[in-house]
Amino acid sequence: MEITVGVGAGARHLGVDRVVDLGPLHPSAHGAYRLRLTVRDDEVITAAEPLVGHLHRGAEKLFEVRDYRQVLTLANRHDWLAAFCNELAVALAVERMTGMDVPARAQALRAVLCELNRIMAHLVFLAPLTGPAAARGREAVQAVLEEASGGRIHFMFNRIGGLREDVPAGWTDRVRAALSTVDVGGIPDGLAGIGVLTREAALAYGVTGPIGRASGVDFDLRRDDPLPGYRGLGVTPVVRTGGDALARVECLVDEVRQSVRLVRRCLDDLPGGPVNLRLPKAVKAPEGSVYTRVEAPLGVSGVHLASRGEKTPWRLKLRTPSFNNVQALSALLPGTGVDDLPAVLGSFAVVVGDIDK
């Protein structure tokens, strides 16, 4: 028997047979995606195919008609839980093509803000699973990100050459206070052994981030290709080998705790000085191309920038983690009971806008 399952409240308008409710706050419920499932008589899935494309953002074409400063305001919208990291990936591409030397304080603050962004994103995914403690911690971290940037979701705080401005006076102390409130809560029962993604399948689909590391993929750009702000921090990736829903949730939980430690370490050694460079009126990348990538909350966020020497990109291609990761559902869902879908999909962190771009 073949059925179509919709994920998120909006899926009921897409002509699905069933809707999987992950709760109103789970990020996968913010945009509709569907799964075409082949199910046995005993309600066990034998084949699965993700059906996406209902939230197409057109981001890559929009980039081509905006100058590089304007591009950054759009770069944070396809994955609204990784806004700062996505801005940074684009800024890095322009900085490397133009040979900019970003100030040390900006590099260190970028690492701090990336890790705060990671904590916030992970806690948003964990809150529906682990309870209100994660939601309270997320709110505290989001408050200090908002204080620094002025935005709760779309931070728009990166600039080509650094950051828009320095953080407010006393901000670092308030960050430490916010981190002291971070609590992920308890991991629910019933996650062990369901929705298993093998290491071989994760590598075949290009799965990165905590989903890949939960399946034994020992890869983290903060260690393997670190940005200047991460050098010297000694990041050790959080890796599990089970590949099931429990391993994925455990990776998210441990990465929150790891990011708390990294932020505190960065704040202890935060250098002084400027946080940006003086730019010409029109920023033009020289003719050529470059690929940059950062370790975003859900995995590798990459930018391939091709320029013809103008003030707008000729081509700006995004490599988004959710686009690769969601394909792995076809490998991990077979053998899963339909009744276990909410638990499995709740552990499988994707943002639909990051799939459709």
Spatial CA neighbour of 354 closest among 296, 294, 290, 312: 296
CA distance 205 to 221: 18
Answer yes or no: is pLDDT of 53 > 90. Answer: no
CA–CA gap between residue 276 and residue 27 (Å, rounded): 33
The answer to whether the CB of 27 falls within 8 A of the CB of 81 is yes
CA–CA dist 185, 43 (Å, integer): 32
Q: Are 210 and 169 in contact (CB under 8 A)?
A: no
Across the range 243-248, mean pLDDT stands at 96
Rounded Cα distance, 309 and 26, in Å: 42
Amino acid at site 174: R
Alpha helices in the chain (DSSP H): 59-63, 68-74, 83-98, 104-130, 132-149, 171-179, 199-204, 209-214, 221-224, 245-268, 321-327, 329-332, 341-347, 352-356
* Residue 270 confidence (pLDDT): 95
Q: Do 5 and 329 contact (CB within 8 A), yes or no? A: no
What is the rounded average pLDDT of the residues 4-29?
Answer: 74
Give the bridge partners for 300, in sequence order: 295
Q: Cβ of 72: how many Cβ atoms within 10 Å? A: 22
Kindly report the average pLDDT of the chain as a whole number: 91
pLDDT in tens, 248-297: 999 999 999 999 999 999 999 999 999 999 998 889 999 999 999 999 99
Backbone angles phi, psi at 181, to 5 degrees: -95, -5
pLDDT in tens, 168-226: 999 999 999 999 999 988 889 899 999 999 999 999 999 999 999 999 999 999 999 99
Q: What's the predicted TM-score (pTM) here?
A: 0.94
Q: What pLDDT shows up at residue 11? A: 72
Q: Which stretch of 128-132, 135-139, 290-294 has the lowest confidence by average pLDDT?
A: 128-132
DSSP string over 72-115? HHHTTSSSTTSHHHHHHHHHHHHHHHHT----HHHHHHHHHHHH
